[in-house]
Structure 1
Amino acid sequence: MRRLATVLGVVVLVAGTGLGTTGVLLLRQAEASLTRVPVPELDEAAAPSDARHFLIVGSDSRDGLSDEQRSRLTLGQFEGQRSDTVIYVSISEDRSTVSLVSLPRDLLVIDGGRQRKLTETYAGGPDRLVSVIQQNFGLPVNHYAEISLGGFISVVETLGSVELCLDAPLVDRKSGAEFEAGCQQMDAEEALSFVRSRRGNFGDYERIARQQQFLRATLREMIDAQVLTDVPRLFRLVENVASNVTTDENLGVGEMRAVAQEMRQVVSAGVPMATVPAFPRRIDGADFMVAYRPGAEAMFDRLRQGVPLLDSGDRPDREETPVALISGGRTAAAGTVGSVLQFVGFGVIAAGSGDASLDAGTTTTIYRLPGHEDEAEWVASFLGAPIVDLPATVTAPEAAKVLVAVGDDASL
């Protein structure tokens, strides 16, 4: 996620200065600095006005970083590269909406007939990663871009710092994070330790939430008037981004700029961000995240169409949203649904088998409670389940804000 900030940032900034000598020079500088690679598996859009789908990858390659930097940044001695961050970006046909979805590193995929983690498929190159996402999730991919750790560090150094607010202290020896609660300006090294931290009960999902928080903050910094009017700083930023970005052969700065011109107001107003709903499973001695099919398919269908995702709320909001689960006797399925919700931050209340009138049958059902309509939509965004009113004859658990009756589809 942090790498996507730099890609979107250069797009927005170049678009914002697209007229006059400065804009022309910025475009030339960025175009000359980009690295391009062939990605034959990409889908070709039928028309310029079609919805656009981008795959943005952050590589954890240490290339270009000194031993001293690796040590200071607690990066270890890992050689080669994996996909440290994978973001799917969907832009609507009318360019009125853009949606970002994080795909967990440990997401289970089938690659060449083998069960693998999504991050491992990147070793086969961009084409392999694109192909795996197309085949496993039915998602079209029109363009590909990636950026490295060095690019992230350079961009934050150029911005100077990014303000991030923490609800609680964060201390993580593995990432190097050591922060008190409250708002603080983070430099490049501090920001890197923040977004790399998996500290918390839900591992990579905790990190994804931090990456999304960082992305929002970075986009705010990048479209700030002080950055746009500081021409030397703007040139440094574009150079730092473009020189650390690799794209497919057809994604040039000209196309980036055209999309950005259409999307600038949308990005400025805030970009919806979500995470693929999944649950943990240990398979053959390895820990995976398995996509929760009803929720993932509903999310993927909206991305394919280029329509807005349902509002999923922010993680702090979800953490204050207890969800009562009625199993209907489907104990294992209820455990799966509970895990899906917990990994994205919801509190889960086990409410037993429940009243017979609430048995969901084939389809998991979400019951909205009075005054908590938004919270019901947040839950639906991950479960892909219909929302109905709670029958007047049924009383929900006192602490619950949403009630979910688990159906047979949660067992598939």
Structure 2
Amino acid sequence: MLVGGEPGPWGPNVSGGRRWRLLRRLATVMGVVVLVAATGLGTTGVLLLRQAEASLTRVPVQRLDEAAAPSDARHFLIVGSDSRDGLDDEQRSRLTLGEFDGQRSDTVIYVSISQDRSAVSLVSLPRDLLVNDGDRQRKLTETYAGGPDRLISVIQENFGLPVNHYAEISLGGFISVVETLGGVDLCIDDPLVDRKSGADFEAGCHRMDAEQALSYVRSRQGLFGDYERIARQQQFLRATLRELTDTQILADVPRLFRLVEDVAGNVTTDQNLGVGEMRAVAQEMRQVITDGVPMVTVPAYPRKINGIDYMIAYRPGTEAMFDRLRQGVPLMDAGTRDDRAEAPVALMSGGRTDGAGIVGSVLQFVGFPILTAGSGPAELDAGETTTVYRLPGNEDEAEWVASFLGAPIRDLPASVTAPEGAEVLVAVGADAAA
């Protein structure tokens, strides 16, 4: 059940940019924890924590949930700020930032540390996600005008997600960390030229400085807009985490302290996120950081309402994903975007064309190639519940699809032949358009 007893803004029945934005800022707030975790909480780790504590800015946040026990899962809300405060005139003129003053929230990141401390999950909530905010519907990014408590309240009431801690990271934090690291290594498959973000890269591997990395993670170039950018930002975060835990960085104690100062000096947190909590997070993350951090995006599909573009959360997939987070258990394996790009999915509509269109959009936005397979045989009619059918040898691919659709997985009956080229088959049920 969702907090407040009312359903969230699930589509498709709904009433009638510029972005920064995502994991590049999460890299800064996670950076303190990662550095401390990697150094092992010896004397250097403790000093790093104390330095971070002294440099952080605190703000009162009233809507936070208090964990009932130390063993409970921990949930963080990370917000990137559009504010240009802290950038000097040279940085403003050199970087392709667009014309904007003030502050907005960008794409929001929900970070969950599982109850058994075996996994850290990162879920991005697109800034254009449609939410109920009091008596009106609006984009998630617009709710931040009311401050962190308003944003947290909207997330709690729409999606039933607990929030134990809050952190906000400035644009200056991103720039400072990349500069102190001396750049970040990123490889891209295709050329990227984007006048709006300033990106101009050939295919291949690049050692990107702060200006180049900023233009890369800001780019919305591609068929799926913000979801293309989210994929780039997730790639950037993985690369940054690798840099932060590199043995050369960890052995350079003066550089470690400069990094912590860069990070913490550009982070604002709630009043309760102190040294003790940071130490606990560092200890927990140390066990899982080398295994990689799962990064996914809320399954959603686009809709234009009264001339405005929104992303509508796909109810079955989002409810299943958020239910796992609420329970404090790891998310299902969703693969990487590169993995998903090599896993074609065949859709059987069962005559439910509206639902098939929605499911197809949800899967395309997270990177799956889609094959249409008509209505499909009567024996695969999904009825009320959309169903994922695994094909022999493609068990992992079926789980990736199910992780976004919140759908059960079944073996494909021997009497049914899968469409040529498909690695997963999805039979669309009535719940897809409910």
Class of the TM-score when normalised by the shorter of the 2 chains: over 0.9
- Equivalent pair of 1:53/1:140 in contact (CA under 8 Å): yes
- Equivalent pair of 2:72/2:328 in contact (CA under 8 Å): no
- Equivalent pair of 1:59/1:84 in contact (CA under 8 Å): yes
Instruction: Write the distance in 2 (CA, Å) between the matches of 1:313 and 1:23.
Output: 33
Please list the CA deviations of residues 289-324 of structure 1 after superposition, one character each: whole Å capped at 9, or x if unmatched.
000000000000011111111111111111111111
Partner of 1:37: 59
Instruction: Write the distance in 2 (CA, Å) between the matches of 1:394 and 1:23.
Output: 58
CA separation of 1:347/1:18 partners in 2, compared to 1, >3 Å: closer, same or farther?
Answer: closer
Amino acid at match of 1:248: D
Partner of 1:223: 245
Please list the CA deviations of residues 63-94 of structure 1 after superposition, one character each: whole Å capped at 9, or x if unmatched.
12234322321102211111123110111122
Match status 1:138 vs 2:137: no
Amino acid at match of 2:289: V
Partner of 2:4: none
Partner of 1:279: 301
User: Could you tell me which of 231, 243, 255 is aligned with 1:233?
Assistant: 255
Amino acid at match of 2:53: E
Instruction: Write the distance in 1 (CA, Å) between the matches of 2:305 and 2:270.
Output: 34
Please list the CA deviations of residues 115-165 of structure 1 after superposition, one character each: whole Å capped at 9, or x if unmatched.
111111111111111111000111000000110111000000011111111
Partner of 2:97: 75
Partner of 2:288: 266
Amino acid at match of 1:200: G
Instruction: Write the distance in 2 (CA, Å) between the matches of 1:373 and 1:26.
Output: 44
Please list the CA deviations of residues 207-246 of structure 1 after superposition, one character each: whole Å capped at 9, or x if unmatched.
0001111111100110111111111111110000001000
User: Could you tell me which of 192, 198, 204 is aligned with 1:170?
Assistant: 192
Amino acid at match of 1:14: V
Instruction: Write the distance in 1 (CA, Å) between the matches of 2:118 and 2:37.
Output: 16
Greater Cα shift, 258-267 or 41-50: 258-267
Partner of 1:307: 329
For the residue of structure 1 that corresponds to 2:66, the secondary structure is: coil
Amino acid at match of 1:180: E
Instruction: Write the distance in 2 (CA, Å) between the matches of 1:22 and 1:36.
Output: 24
Match status 1:190 vs 2:212: yes
TM-score, normalising length from structure 2? 0.93
For the residue of structure 1 that corresponds to 2:64, the secondary structure is: coil
Match status 1:378 vs 2:400: yes
Match status 1:14 vs 2:36: yes
CA separation of 1:90/1:20 partners in 2, compared to 1, >3 Å: closer, same or farther?
Answer: closer
Instruction: Write the distance in 2 (CA, Å) between the matches of 1:24 and 1:98.
Output: 22
- Equivalent pair of 2:321/2:406 in contact (CA under 8 Å): yes
Instruction: Write the distance in 1 (CA, Å) between the matches of 2:336 and 2:37.
Output: 28
For the residue of structure 1 that corresponds to 2:150, the secondary structure is: helix
- Equivalent pair of 2:360/2:370 in contact (CA under 8 Å): yes
Match status 1:316 vs 2:316: no
Partner of 1:26: 48
Amino acid at match of 1:89: V
CA separation of 1:20/1:261 partners in 2, compared to 1, >3 Å: closer, same or farther?
Answer: closer
User: Could you tell me which of 105, 116, 127 is aligned with 2:149?
Assistant: 127
User: Could you tell me which of 104, 107, 130 is aligned with 2:126?
Assistant: 104
For the residue of structure 1 that corresponds to 2:98, the secondary structure is: coil
Partner of 1:289: 311
Match status 1:113 vs 2:162: no
For the residue of structure 2 that corresponds to 1:339, the secondary structure is: helix
Partner of 2:12: none
Amino acid at match of 2:80: G
Amino acid at match of 2:296: A
Instruction: Write the distance in 2 (CA, Å) between the matches of 1:49 and 1:340.
Output: 35
User: Could you tell me which of 146, 151, 155 is aligned with 2:173?
Assistant: 151
- Equivalent pair of 2:130/2:140 in contact (CA under 8 Å): yes
For the residue of structure 2 that corresponds to 1:2, the secondary structure is: helix
Partner of 1:252: 274
Partner of 2:410: 388
Instruction: Write the distance in 2 (CA, Å) between the matches of 1:131 and 1:24.
Output: 34
Please list the CA deviations of residues 167-224 of structure 1 after superposition, one character each: whole Å capped at 9, or x if unmatched.
1111111111111111111111111111111110000000000111111110011011
CA separation of 1:89/1:19 partners in 2, compared to 1, >3 Å: closer, same or farther?
Answer: closer
Match status 1:206 vs 2:228: yes
Please list the CA deviations of residues 331-357 of structure 1 after superposition, one character each: whole Å capped at 9, or x if unmatched.
011000000001011111111111111
The offset of 1:262, in angstroms, is 2.2
Instruction: Write the distance in 1 (CA, Å) between the matches of 2:247 and 2:308.
Output: 48
Instruction: Write the distance in 2 (CA, Å) between the matches of 1:358 and 1:122.
Output: 45
User: Which ranges in structure 1 are unaligned for 5 or more consecutive residues?
Assistant: none
Instruction: Write the distance in 1 (CA, Å) between the matches of 2:276 and 2:178.
Output: 24
Instruction: Write the distance in 2 (CA, Å) between the matches of 1:28 and 1:384.
Output: 42
For the residue of structure 1 that corresponds to 2:329, the secondary structure is: coil
Amino acid at match of 1:45: A
The offset of 1:18, in angstroms, is 5.7
Question: What number of residue pairs does the alignment pair up?
Answer: 412
Instruction: Write the distance in 2 (CA, Å) between the matches of 1:208 and 1:158.
Output: 24
CA RMSD of aligned residues (A): 1.2
CA separation of 1:26/1:387 partners in 2, compared to 1, >3 Å: closer, same or farther?
Answer: same
For the residue of structure 1 that corresponds to 2:287, the secondary structure is: helix
